[in-house]
């Protein structure tokens, strides 16, 4: 009761509103105890009266200082009467400290609390991110662990908002943290800024050496661990076996760091936990999609336990993106990697690379000079198809044939890719027969009724293109 009531008077704004809920709930329990009796002890003062007796004097002082009335007669008739009756008992009345001195004392005590609350209310913190980026979760977790209130602005790539371009004109990408009008970009820079700005619940140790080592392992995680683990899940066959070697080696280093402690930060979550924290969620998703178990308890007992402990922390648990959406996202992301891996395996076995599909695909997933070169190759290959349609409705003649089915994806996907990228490859002037065929093929009921939902495909290829271009930019 007393801590919850005190919390009301040392808070302001939204925090005060939230503090009122448990305080009123607790006071209601006391109100129930007074039904049909003058004191908690009955007709005379008892132990509970002495325990709660502070309120009979202090609450009125806190109310006077804050201007907030908490215990009102309408809500708490029994408590209000008890406060007066208790205060009127001579033994109690004669031993209250001087009211003016108590007011001065609590004025001094309340000042730092109210100043901090006012400061928090005055601060404006915004985070620009996409829901699809698991890396931005580090920032979300850091802010939540430090109890910093912030607004989230979700960006919808590739349609970048004017605000994002204003706050991050250099890289024009998320995440971006805006604090009182000042913008900070780049993931680790943002985390460092949060750590230095808000000292509560530190993410880094005080000792300079330990702090340096934490930063070292964060960099090791970003540069070595996560890329090597990801490589395992985007590979197949012999390449996957080879990718397993550095991944397991890197995970063993992390396993060593967890010996004798619950988190990488010790008993509480630290910066390295946030850096590696993605694995606690994503690895299970990648394992579910690939059917491959990478982090097993026998090999990595500490990591396995840490993944569960980290995921069970409320701040972490409550801020994971929806699992089903993440599965869908990575299903889309993995497709091109696995298709390329399968194609490579096929070539190694003496297969031949198809021409039209890759050449058209490259147009939409390249930029600048590479896109120009890809367009020239695609146009050359499309001309060969154009020739095959001369004098007939379908490649199979009057009816759909084998080649129509093989090339049929173009009738739907090319228009989607054109919308995603804003680039026209197949137009009526250059490819009149192909343009007509695309319409005729799409109008066949069997074809039309079985296209995947257009909006879902647009979303899928937005994500796929973003993944390709991001990977290309890093190279």
d(CA 240, CA 254): 21
Report the pLDDT value the prediction gives residue 354, as an integer from 0 to 100.
47
Answer yes or no: are the C-beta atoms of 389 and 383 closer than 8 Å. Answer: no
Answer yes or no: are the C-beta atoms of 143 and 125 closer than 8 Å. Answer: yes
Q: Count CB neighbours of 428 within 10 A.
A: 10
Report the pLDDT value the prediction gives residue 349, as an integer from 0 to 100.
38
Rounded to the nearest 5 degrees, what angle is found at the Cα of 127, between the Cα atoms of 126 and 131? 140
Which strands form 125-129's sheet, in the order they lie side by side? 151-154, 125-129, 176-179, 182-185
pLDDT digits (tens, 9 = 90+) for 25-81: 999 999 999 999 999 999 999 999 999 988 888 888 888 887 888 898 899 999 999
Report the pLDDT value the prediction gives residue 254, as an integer from 0 to 100.
95
Report the pLDDT value the prediction gives residue 350, as an integer from 0 to 100.
39
Q: For residue 429, what are its two tokens?
A: 């002037």
Q: For residue 297, what are its two tokens?
A: 């308890």
Phi-psi sector, 192: left (phi>0), alpha (psi -120 to 50), beta: alpha
d(CA 369, CA 359): 15
Report the pLDDT value the prediction gives residue 303, as an integer from 0 to 100.
96
Q: For residue 357, what are its two tokens?
A: 């599909």
Rounded to the nearest 5 degrees, what angle is found at the Cα of 458, between the Cα atoms of 453 and 459? 100
What predicted TM-score, i.e. pTM, was given to this entire model?
0.53
Report the pLDDT value the prediction gives residue 352, as an integer from 0 to 100.
35
d(CA 366, CA 375): 10
Answer yes or no: are the C-beta atoms of 409 and 364 closer than 8 Å. Answer: no
d(CA 175, CA 186): 7
d(CA 132, CA 465): 13
Peptide bond into 241 cis (omega under 30): no
Report the pLDDT value the prediction gives residue 229, as an integer from 0 to 100.
94
**Residues of the chain under the 50 pLDDT cut:** 343, 345-354
pLDDT digits (tens, 9 = 90+) for 412-463: 888 888 887 888 888 888 889 999 998 999 999 999 899 888 888 888 887 7
Report the pLDDT value the prediction gives residue 29, as an integer from 0 to 100.
93
């Amino acid at each position: 009761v007393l801590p919850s009531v005190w919390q009301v008077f040392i808070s302001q704004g939204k925090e005060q509103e939230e503090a009122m809920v448990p305080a009123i709930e607790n006071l209601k329990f006391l109100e129930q105890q007074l039904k049909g009796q003058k004191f908690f002890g009955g007709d005379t003062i008892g132990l509970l009266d002495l325990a709660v007796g502070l309120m009979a004097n202090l609450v009125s002082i806190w109310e006077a200082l804050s201007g907030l009335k908490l215990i009102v007669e309408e809500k708490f008739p029994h408590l209000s009467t008890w406060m007066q009756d208790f205060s009127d008992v001579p033994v109690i009345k004669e031993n209250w400290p001087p009211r003016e001195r108590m007011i001065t004392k609590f004025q001094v005590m309340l000042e730092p609390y109210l100043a901090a609350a006012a400061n928090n209310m005055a601060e404006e913190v915004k985070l620009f991110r996409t829901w699809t980026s698991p890396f931005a979760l580090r920032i979300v977790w850091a802010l939540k662990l430090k109890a910093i209130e912030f607004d989230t602005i979700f960006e919808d790539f590739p349609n970048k908002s004017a605000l994002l371009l204003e706050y991050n004109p250099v890289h024009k990408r998320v995440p971006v943290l805006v604090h009182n009008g000042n913008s900070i970009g780049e993931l680790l820079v943002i985390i460092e800024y949060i750590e230095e700005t808000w000292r509560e619940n530190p993410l880094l140790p005080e000792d300079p050496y330990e702090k340096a080592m934490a930063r070292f392992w964060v960099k090791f995680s970003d540069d070595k661990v996560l890329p090597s683990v990801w490589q395992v899940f985007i590979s197949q066959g012999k390449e996957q076996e080879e990718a397993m070697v550095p991944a397991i080696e890197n995970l063993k280093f992390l396993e060593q760091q967890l010996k004798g402690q619950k988190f990488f930060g010790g008993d509480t979550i630290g910066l390295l936990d946030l850096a590696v924290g993605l694995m606690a969620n994503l690895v299970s998703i990648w394992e579910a999609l690939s059917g491959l178990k990478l982090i097993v308890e026998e090999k990595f007992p500490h990591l396995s336990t840490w993944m569960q402990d980290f995921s069970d922390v409320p701040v972490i648990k409550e801020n994971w993106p929806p699992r089903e959406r993440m599965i869908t996202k990575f299903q889309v992301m993995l497709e091109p990697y696995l298709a390329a891996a399968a194609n490579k395996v096929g070539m190694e076995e003496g297969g031949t690379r198809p021409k039209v599909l890759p050449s058209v695909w490259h147009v939409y997933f390249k930029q600048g000079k590479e896109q120009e070169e890809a367009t020239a190759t695609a146009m050359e290959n499309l001309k060969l198809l154009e020739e095959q349609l001369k004098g007939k409705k379908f490649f199979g003649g009057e009816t759909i044939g084998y080649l129509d089915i093989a090339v049929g994806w173009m009738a739907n996907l090319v228009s989607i890719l054109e919308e995603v990228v804003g680039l026209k490859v197949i137009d009526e002037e250059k490819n009149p027969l192909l343009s007509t065929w695309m319409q005729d093929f799409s109008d066949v009921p069997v074809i039309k009724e079985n296209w995947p939902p257009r909006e879902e495909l647009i979303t899928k290829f937005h994500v796929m293109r973003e993944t390709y271009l991001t990977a290309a930019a890093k190279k």
